[in-house]
Amino acid sequence: MKNQYFGDVRDLFKYDLILAIMRGLSTLQGFTFIPMLTEDSKTSKGRKEGNKRDFDKAERDSRPGSQNEELMNFLKGYKEKEGDKKDFTKIGDYFNSEGIEMVIHTIHSDYFTDKNRDLYFKNVPPSFLHRSLVFIDPDIGLEIKNSTEKHLLYREAKYIYESMDDDSILMIYQHFPREEHEEYLKRRSKDLKATLDNQPIYLSDNEIIFFLLPKNDEILGKLTSTINKYKLNYSAKLDTNIYNLSK
């Protein structure tokens, strides 16, 4: 993830879904944010500051999260800010206002890199992985053949997943690549199942994907119910595998 994109319309989906899960599962005591923060892009002004900030269009199009007026207003406050004045950790103010306990795993250097990645994940405090929604937010998503600091490696996902207690849920952010979406979702789900020995739930708006991995059947049932209710609000915009899950 990058600070420059904090407050764009994709954040509506991201943080609204997190709020829905936290409210829907009373067993969760907190939200743990594990950002893989990379340096802002320098290519052009439009790209440097992020270019998905039309909240009026997001509302007209009924994008996921657009029914959350409080979140919309909060993120709109970052619409005109320059990239170097944006601070993604401020999302904690929003969750605090909603009564959600949130912790952010920080890094000792400014940015997440290939050199510090092992230490970064190994230093996640055990208390952050207890009865928590544990959200890992890479710049792009899961590993590819030539992964960079923008990708979450499967071994890192496995380490966090196995370090979590059985009442926690792992959530992973993923951009859609330029390939057929249905086949991509099947392939990634298969790879995650092979790595974590667990079939993920996914939820997608056809631009980004969230993979969700609970660790026991009771939490899976509650999460499934919560996702189903969430999907009803944006049924034309969201795709999920919730109806054809197989262990």
What is the 3-class SS of 66-125, one letter each residue?
CCCHHHHHHHHCCCCCCHHHCCHHHHHHHHHHCCCCEEECCCCCCCCCCCCHHHHHHCCC
Report the alpha-carbon distance of residue 21 to residue 31 in Å, rounded.
10
Q: Give tens-digit pLDDT for 99-141.
A: 999 999 987 768 899 999 999 999 999 999 999 999 999 999 9
Asked if residue 43 lies in contact with residue 2, where contact means CB atoms within 8 angstroms, the answer is: no
> Which domains does the chain show, CATH number per domain?
3-240 (3.40.50)
pTM of the model: 0.92
Return the ∠ at Cα 209 (arms to 208 and 212), rounded to 5°.
155
Helices H / strands E in the chain, number of each: 9, 9
Tens digit of each residue's pLDDT, the chain (247 residues): 788 878 888 899 999 999 999 999 999 999 999 999 988 876 545 444 445 778 888 888 889 999 999 999 999 887 666 555 678 899 999 999 999 999 999 877 688 999 999 999 999 999 999 999 999 999 999 999 999 999 999 999 999 999 999 999 999 999 999 889 999 999 999 999 999 999 999 999 999 999 999 999 999 999 999 999 999 988 767 889 875 554 4
| DSSP state, residue 39 | P
